Amino acid sequence: MSDTLFAPVRNGQALPLADVPELTLAEFRDAVIQGVRSGMRLACLCADAALNLYAVLAEDAAGRLCAGRTRLEGPRYPALTPQCAQAHLFERELAEQYGIVPEGHPWFNPVRFHRSWVPGRDAWGRTGPIEPGVLDFYQVKGEEVHEVAVGPVHAGVIEPGHFRFQCHGETVFHLEIALGYQHRGVERALEGGPHPLSLKHAETACGDSSAAHAWAYCQALEGLAGFTVPARSQRVRGVALELERAANHTGDLGAMSGDVGFLPTASFCGRIRGDWLNMTAEACGSRLGRDWLRPGGLRMDLDSSRAGHLAERLDRAWADTVDAVELMWGAASVLNRFEAAGAVDPVQAREIGLVGVPARACGIALDVRRDHPFGPYAGHPVGPCLGESGNVQSRAWVRWLELAQSHSFLRTALESLAWGEPDARPAALPPLAADSFCVSMVEGWRGEVLHLAITGAEGRFRRYKIVDASFHNWFGLALALRGELVSDFPLCNKSFNLSYCGHDL
Amino acid sequence: MIHILLSRWRQGHRTMAYPKTLPALPERFRGRPEFDPGACAEGCRACRDACPTGAIELAPLRLDLGRCLFCTECVDACPDGVLRFTGDHRLAARNRDDLVQGPGTTPVLAAALGKELMRVLGRSLKLRVVSAGGCNGCEVDVNVLGTLAWDLGRFGIQFVASPRHADGLIICGPVTANMALAVQKTYDAVPDPKLVIAVGACAIAGGPYLHQAEQLGGAAAAGIPVDLFIPGCPPHPLTILDGLLRLLDKLQ
């Protein structure tokens, strides 16, 4: 256990804000930089309108989280990024949101292209209209070097984002990704909450990870209200989360197969993904798990007969999944392409703080379900499933291992849910603790989903921060493209399958 | 190769028979709402107060499906059981006003295109999907129509990669300020005559983000004329397909 001035916190448990140590700026910087050097990970760094900086560090292998804060004297401070690459996007984000300038930031650009939340205080001194995707992209110069610009509107049913490749022939020297097109104001909407729409905002922060984000939101509220969710409801939430993982991993494996031209697995998995989604719909009426969870427990319980029925469908979906995916592992043409594309260096992966599937594909053992257990996972440990090479093949393989694990979790959970009575419908939560701080983390199918709630004097959100796994991982995709061919971008992109809306909020 | 053939044999033919027969929808599926006329208690406003998007108006009771997230807050709040969501997936409408439903209103299904548009687009409809600030939920359920289970191509409908190849747009999301220009340019790039289909609560009226200044409140509010509204958060694939097929007069 490394020494730190930060205070220990636990996933989903609130503590008074006064117990989060307020450090001097020098101490705060040192705690973050030294913490990350000693192997911790910067899970969250954010600011608020009163010029406070908050950081959450995770020592995943030790199952430890800690948090600290500092108050800035003015809207500027020496950037952490030169010494701590993991702070790179967080510092750009807090600059954009609150007009706080991290001085000496090596790549100081906006993240989502919106106006500062503090009127009149813009980190770049902009006063005119702000155009999305307009920035000084990193450029490689030379006679034979050219630039490829893609997006925001892409050639498929996919979210918008702008990609700028610096190429030499087919080889990519550098990729810069400009997002923010999906920015619809989720964090600002949550401020002053919980509001009647807050749970919806959490569910739609990243709509293909509704269960993960809804759970993180509910867990934050339950922590702040000091409410313990009954074990059966927690198990049902586990079913929601693992069905979401199974559906998306199946879809991703199929899509990756399609991107290398192996159509049998692509076609089968496209359909089987629907089978998984339809199981979620059987449980709650919505294929994406909307309106399934609610603070305090569940909106839609999973009674014993429904659980039993789902268990039967689980076997069929799993058998079809195995049949479809094993075809792909037996195809040399697939493995050949998967193994040759999109490698991320494991050392760099640690340095930039990758999470979720791309991190585990590099052999980095982290999984919120094991490291910072929540809900049913303390009694039913899962993960982490590891790859070795950090390439497309490893990311596919990690998904495959996780699918098997989700299946086994679902089997056990549904069998136990097929007995007994559902929990009573949850009443409204008691009021949230005032002036408190709660970190809530869930392992979504992409990786770590972190919600940080800070309440004010009335027990309402003074600041609500969401960090989707995609926020950590987009830069990983940029690194994976270095030295690859432009034509491999779709495959690499699909192997990460990051969220635009989860990043843009 | 033999393994591929064996898998094909094991997995079987899985394209659904729709529209000949309806696929089974889950019991908890929430489709078109139904109302009990005259059952509201005098002065009761429980459903209106409970609705997180302000989709409900009273005297007379009206529920705007364009704003509705199908979350059941209103059903849970109603002391008299006046509202309930049925399993009827047919929600799409040609006119925005047709989405406003209440006791005594007649559900209006989406009408087919006019004669001339039908002549041009009726047998082959190519659509460009633009995601404009949603949560990727509607995109998921639009995308699934392309899988072998739904096999959209058998109806002559196809998603294409360029607006210049398209006969129309599907717009998802509330149209964020950051996407407004891209949506307009994409719309302009589609050759006439063209259609616009707004999929999901966001694209119709801003969805859960209707109060946020970062978005424009849907496709129509962003200045794009909409020909078909498909409500839901997100709509079920069957609801989307029903809307598309009604537009092309392929359903009775």
Tell me which chain A residues have a C-beta less than 8 angstroms from the C-beta of B7: 264, 268, 323-324, 327
Is there a cis peptide before residue A129, judged by omega within 30 degrees of 0?
no
How crowded is the C-beta side of B113, counted as CA atoms within 13 Å?
23
Q: How far is the C-alpha of A468 from the C-alpha of A212, rounded, in Å?
A: 10
Q: Give burial (CB, 10 Å; 0-12/13-18/19+) of A309.
A: middle
Nearest to B215 among A184, A268, A277 (CB): A184
Contacts of B44 (CB under 8 A, 6+ apart): B79, B80
Task: Dig out the tokens for A161 from the structure.
Answer: 């984002």
Nearest to A268 among B11, B146, B179 (CB): B11
CA dihedral A414, A419, A420, A421 (to 10 degrees): 60
Task: Dig out the tokens for A420 from the structure.
Answer: 């007994």
Nearest to A206 among B136, B159, B179 (CB): B136
Q: Which of A112, A182, A279, A298 to mutate to test the interface with B (most CBs of B within 10 A)?
A: A182
Tell me which chain B residues have a C-beta less than 8 angstroms from the C-beta of A197: 52-53, 208, 211
Question: What is the mean pLDDT for each group of 10 consecutive residues in chain A (505 residues)?
Answer: 84 96 96 95 96 96 95 96 97 96 96 95 93 92 92 87 94 95 96 95 96 97 96 95 97 96 94 95 95 94 93 95 95 95 95 96 96 92 90 97 96 92 87 96 97 96 97 96 93 96 96
Each residue's pLDDT tens digit, B51-89: 999 999 998 999 999 999 999 999 999 999 899 999 999
CA dihedral A136, A142, A144, A150 (to 10 degrees): -10
Q: What is the CA radius of gyration of chain A?
A: 22
| Closest chain A residue to B86, measured at CA | A285
Find out whether A35 and A43 touch, Cβ atoms under 8 Å: no
Q: What is the CA radius of gyration of chain B?
A: 19
The ipTM value here is 0.95
| Closest chain B residue to A287, measured at CA | B236
Distance from CA of B244 to the nearest CA of A (A): 16
Query: By three-state DSSP, how is residue B66 classified?
Result: coil
Q: What local confidence, expressed as pLDDT, does residue A421 receive? A: 87
Task: Dig out the tokens for A165 from the structure.
Answer: 């490749």
C-alpha pair distances (Å), B206 with each of B85, B118, B133: 22, 30, 10
Is there a cis peptide before residue B237, judged by omega within 30 degrees of 0?
no
| Closest chain A residue to B30, measured at CA | A285
Closest CA to B157 of B219, B252, B237: B237
Closest CA to A502 of A438, A441, A431, A449: A449
A vs B, Cβ pairs < 8 A, gives 180
Give the amino acid at A395.
Answer: R
Q: What local confidence, expressed as pLDDT, does residue A151 receive? A: 83
Contact B214 A268 (CB under 8 A): no
CA quadruple A184, A187, A190, A192: dihedral positive or negative?
negative
Each residue's pLDDT tens digit, B20-62: 999 999 999 999 999 988 788 888 999 999 999 999 999 899 9
Q: How far is the C-alpha of A451 from the C-alpha of A46, rounded, in Å?
A: 12
Instruction: Give chain B's residues under pLDDT 70.
Output: none
The H-assigned helical ranges of A341-498 are 346-352, 356-361, 368-371, 392-417, 469-480, 489-496
Q: How far is the C-alpha of B251 from the C-alpha of B244, rounded, in Å?
A: 10
Contact B129 A323 (CB under 8 A): no
Q: What local confidence, expressed as pLDDT, does residue B38 receive? A: 79
Q: How far is CA A219 from the centre of its chain?
A: 16
**How many other CB atoms are found less than 10 A from the CB of residue B115?**
8
Contacts of A491 (CB under 8 A, 6+ apart): A256, A259, A260, A337, A341, A342, A392
B178 touches chain A (CB under 8 A): yes
**How many other CB atoms are found less than 10 A from the CB of residue B41?**
11
Q: What local confidence, expressed as pLDDT, does residue A374 receive? A: 95
For chain B, strand residue ranges (E) read 33-35, 56-57, 62-64, 83-85, 100-101, 125-131, 157-159, 168-172, 195-199, 228-230
Tell me which chain B residues have a C-beta less than 8 angstroms from the C-beta of A183: 133, 176, 178, 214
Find out whether A182 and A500 touch, Cβ atoms under 8 Å: yes
Q: What local confidence, expressed as pLDDT, does residue A2 receive? A: 57
Distance from CA of A144 to the nearest CA of B (A): 29
Contact B149 A286 (CB under 8 A): no
Task: Dig out the tokens for A306 from the structure.
Answer: 């429904």
Angle between helices B2-11 and A263-284 (to 10 degrees): 20
Max CA distance (Å), chain A: 72
Contact A208 B215 (CB under 8 A): no
pTM of the model: 0.96
Q: How far is the C-alpha of A353 from the C-alpha of A186, rounded, in Å?
A: 24
Vertex A465: Cα angle to A249 and A454 (nearest 5): 135
Distance from CA of A147 to the nearest CA of B (A): 21
Contacts of A386 (CB under 8 A, 6+ apart): A360, A361, A363, A364, A365, A398, A401
Tell me which chain B residues have a C-beta less than 8 angstroms from the C-beta of A160: 130-132, 179, 182
Q: Which of B175, B176, B215 to mutate to test the interface with A (most CBs of A within 10 A)?
A: B176
Task: Dig out the tokens for A46 from the structure.
Answer: 């954010």
Q: What local confidence, expressed as pLDDT, does residue B1 receive? A: 82
β-strands B33-35, B83-85 pairing: antiparallel
Contact B209 A184 (CB under 8 A): yes
C-alpha pair distances (Å), B183 with each of A148, A178, B129: 21, 17, 10
* Phi and psi, residue A123, nearest 5°: -65, -25
| Closest chain B residue to A274, measured at CA | B144
Q: How far is the C-alpha of B102 from the C-alpha of B196, rounded, in Å?
A: 27
The H-assigned helical ranges of A205-262 are 210-225, 231-259
* Phi and psi, residue A297, nearest 5°: 160, -115
| Closest chain B residue to A270, measured at CA | B147
Tell me which chain A residues have a C-beta less than 8 angstroms from the C-beta of B126: none
